[in-house]
Structure 1
Amino acid sequence: MPTNAEIIHRALDRITAGYVFPDRTSSIDTSIRRRLAAGDYDGLEGPALCEAVTAHLQEACPDKHLRLLWTDEPQDLDPATEDEGRSAFLDLLRAENQGIRRFEHLDGNIGLIDIRRIACADEGGRAIGAAMELAALSSALILDLRACRGGAPEGAAMWCSYFFPDDQVHLNDIYDRRTDSTRQFWTIAHLPAPRYLDRPVYVLTSSLTFSGGEDVAYTLQAHGRAVVVGETTRGGAHPTARYAVAEHILVTVPTARTISTVTGTNWEGVGVAPDVPVPAGDALDTAHRAALRRLGA
């Protein structure tokens, strides 16, 4: 079992090598090493160590994706088999129905899809399509992202693609530090379910909505395709890689940043601001009433 110092050194090495803003890594490294030398992490183990280091990382650099994570599942520490956390994330998605908790048909022929994770487009595409197939004949649709904790950029682009008529909409870009390249995300040409066009769409958010969930909310809002109802989201816009630094501890390193083609920026640190601000617990009723009014029901 590595010592706390070894865990922290490994994490800082990963951050220095991969963080999307390299000019900030020196101050992060200095701050955490100073706390380590001062004994701030003495006696801390497991989740408590992760919590303390995460708080200090985000104090040194306010990026909510920059953190240590405890995982009950043992992680492979062999760099040769490292996949930046993708296998664990795919296993999680499989266990959670590709992030889709439920579909409900509300009064007034309004569909509701409860999304807890944004699945990868390849493995999750059929499940996303199945949910949109159930919603295909509704008169308005509500996407509930209040408990969505994140996911894959490709999956976010797939969800968004259903609300545009073709593959000609440039949704956003992601700049990757490791490759010094920018990847463009456009609407997808071929989808496994009908597109959802010319009907109202509402997106529900909370202060817990994060990362990939924020991507869907921000992108649909920026492109004028959905009304966001609820609370300002957590504010994490940087795609991350996950690296094992101990058998049960991962460091998440933001290696890229999202750039909206509409706003030229993203929701990092500020969150997605709702069009209709209401407490998260009231968001569904508020959106449902708004949809009924808009439909003249």
Structure 2
Amino acid sequence: MAKMLLPLALLVILSNVLAVHCSFPPTLVSDIAKIFMDNYCYPKKLGGLKEAIEAASNNTEILSIQDPRTLASVLTTGLQKTINDPRLVISYDPDYIPAKPPVLPPLPPEQLITIIKSSIKLEVLENNVGYLRIDRIIGEEMAEKIGPLLVENVWNKIVPTSALIFDLRYTASGEMSGVPYIVSYFSEAEPLIHIDTIYDRPLDTTTELWSMTTLLGERYGKSKDLIILTSKNTKGVAEAVSYALKNLKRATIVGEKTAGGSVKIDKLKLGDTDFYFDVPTVSSTSPITGQSWEINGVTPCIEVDAEDALDAAVAIINLRAKIPAIIQAVGVLVEDNYAFADTGANASETLLGLLEKGHYSMIASQEELETQLSSDLKELFGDKCLAITHKPGKPPMNLPPEMLVEMIKSSFHTDVLENNIGYLCFDAFGDYEQVAPIAKVVVENVWNKVVDTDAMIIDLRNNLGGSTSAISGFCSYFFDGEKPLLLDTLYTRPTETTTEMWTLAQLTGKRYGQKKSIIILTSGATASAAEEFVYIMKKLGRAMIVGETTNGGCHPPEHFHLADGNMYLSIPVTHSDTTHGPAWEGAGISPHIPVPADAALDTAREILNKHLRGQK
């Protein structure tokens, strides 16, 4: 910052087209610098300014531009770029008359009421939603004069509403002393809240704004929904209100990013000239974020065009009205259907407890609700398959034969490696009803290529699972068919039934049998039905598992409709037999030989090559 005004001086020199005599006082630039140094609200940015002033004061060439407004524009551009603050403005205004602060003349109450009603827009919308628009935020002095009238004619009509939309899209002026009033009406009397810290540079004073213990009329409280509408024209004190209530997590901001104005900008005269310098002299700092809404503005929670903000706010309030019923429904569904009954036992009580604590009070969209609920379910019950989702549809299988063959070829990858080692890779398990009609196609185009190998690598590293209904058939290929073999016992919670999964006596194509070696490759992505297959093959000692611990998914979940639209609760309702050990669901299956997934194939080949060479 020691040379902060030098780029400004260079900019002015470069913009000079003709070398002429100075038309303006040679002290103009030094006057700018001195006012800036004495009044700018961020003194930490002013280090080394004294040296820059001296350098600028000795350079009379920077004043060689003849037109005063052009000079003011050039000075402004250089200053803003140098300091990185667009609020700094040099102007040439010979007709400037300082504006006087608004003063409310003595008026009878009925005229005051008329003025208040004309300057404030108040409605009660459908479903008892309040709407309040104010275009100027009054300060403490004005509030003391007209406070009782405001309470009686405006506020008392707002308090009974179930939610409030506070429209600040057109609010560009006001007094900072009004901020504590507004914040206090949307909070409780205790404990006190530190709202803002205001620093006045010319006075070198710091003032903390705190919530108020005593107010006229009732408080709106902190539990009812509050939506603040903003636009690019929302400026100054309205930004302070929006920023404070947003960071206190008391309001949801909907609309456009605000202007990024100032607490206060003083228009200061430069010496005896008609040039003026707009300087932000007072700054605001949030005790919560340690930052300010000035310059950068307030970023909305939900960003929409200003003209669409009201409709978006109504949609948010309508969504929030449905949340308690959704939370309760989720709890009941988990209690009644979750595969592990003991784990899901008090789901309703737990979730309703979060609701009562305001855990879901700031939800602003269905997507946000889905994300938050899914996160909570995973954290509470330790199962990532218990989640909010969209019900998937089954892909149609009525394809012509040639397309079906091409689909099968692209879904499976087969190879015969050295020493007659078969390699089979596929990334999903199909539903039995879909697989059975095309079993012959699969056998002819996939299975027959590897069935006569001496050992096999089954690569499930990228297999995300699918239906488990075809697992018993797939497992059957790797066992002899002399007698049925129990593969797994499945418990289904909604029906409280137990189903045994056995090998099949009849298969399409040849069996691989149970004598040849099999290695299954896994990764952290191996999930769902793929894990059920790995679990069975490992439990029965039929395959060696090489790679990483599997995903810890679940049997294909059921989807329960929660609300209008496409919001569903995915619940694992079935789990594998746990009488001989812990469940794989939620925990995953550990490999016999743990190696990184990308090294699993080479490791498997090395193991099988060594084994096959030893047999010869």
TM range (shorter): 0.7 to 0.9
Bigger Cα displacement from structure 2, 99-108 vs 184-193: 99-108
Q: Are 2:36 and 1:36 aligned?
A: no
Deviations 1:255-294 (A, max 9, x none): 2221168x35531333111011000111112112222222
Deviations 1:26-75 (A, max 9, x none): 43223323333444343353544333211211211112321112x4xxx6
Greater relative contact order (CA < 8 Å, ≥ 6 in sequence): 1
Structure 1 match to 2:374: 54
How far apart in 2 are the matches of 1:216 and 1:97?
23
Deviations 1:123-171 (A, max 9, x none): 1141654532222122221111112222222222222111001151100
- Give the superposition deviation at 1:215: 0.7
Structure 1 match to 2:496: 180
Which of 104, 107, 132 is the matching residue for 2:417? 107
How far apart in 1 are the matches of 2:578 and 2:509?
26
Flag the 1:275–1:44 CA change in 2: closer, same or farther, 3 A: farther
Structure 2 match to 1:119: 430
Q: Which runs of 5 or more residues in structure 1 are unaligned? A: 76-84
Flag the 1:47–1:99 CA change in 2: closer, same or farther, 3 A: farther
How far apart in 2 are the matches of 1:19 and 1:98?
35
- SS of residue paired to 2:598: helix
How far apart in 2 are the matches of 1:35 and 1:19?
20
Q: Are 2:558 and 1:241 aligned?
A: yes
Percent of aligned positions that are identical: 28
- Give the superposition deviation at 1:207: 1.2
TM-score under structure 2 normalisation?
A: 0.42
Structure 1 match to 2:386: 66
**Quick check: which has more Rg, 1 or 2?**
2
- SS of residue paired to 2:463: coil
Which of 230, 249, 258 is the matching residue for 2:576? 258
Bigger Cα displacement from structure 2, 192-201 vs 26-35: 26-35
How far apart in 1 are the matches of 2:387 and 2:343?
15
How far apart in 1 are the matches of 2:426 and 2:529?
11
Q: Which runs of 5 or more residues in structure 2 are unaligned? A: 1-314
Bigger Cα displacement from structure 2, 146-155 vs 164-173: 146-155
Bigger Cα displacement from structure 2, 35-44 vs 103-112: 35-44
1:115 and 1:144 in contact (8 A); partners too:
yes
How far apart in 1 are the matches of 2:468 and 2:567?
24
2:525 and 2:550 in contact (8 A); partners too:
yes
1:103 and 1:134 in contact (8 A); partners too:
no
TM-score under structure 1 normalisation?
A: 0.82
2:330 and 2:348 in contact (8 A); partners too:
no
- SS of residue paired to 1:153: coil
Which of 533, 543, 566 is the matching residue for 1:226? 543
Flag the 1:37–1:178 CA change in 2: closer, same or farther, 3 A: same
- SS of residue paired to 1:224: coil
How far apart in 1 are the matches of 2:410 and 2:429?
8
- Give the superposition deviation at 1:237: 4.1
The count of residues paired between Structure 1 and Structure 2 equals 280
Structure 2 match to 1:282: 599
Deviations 1:178-235 (A, max 9, x none): 2222110001111112111222111111112112111111111111111101001122
How far apart in 1 are the matches of 2:386 and 2:520?
26
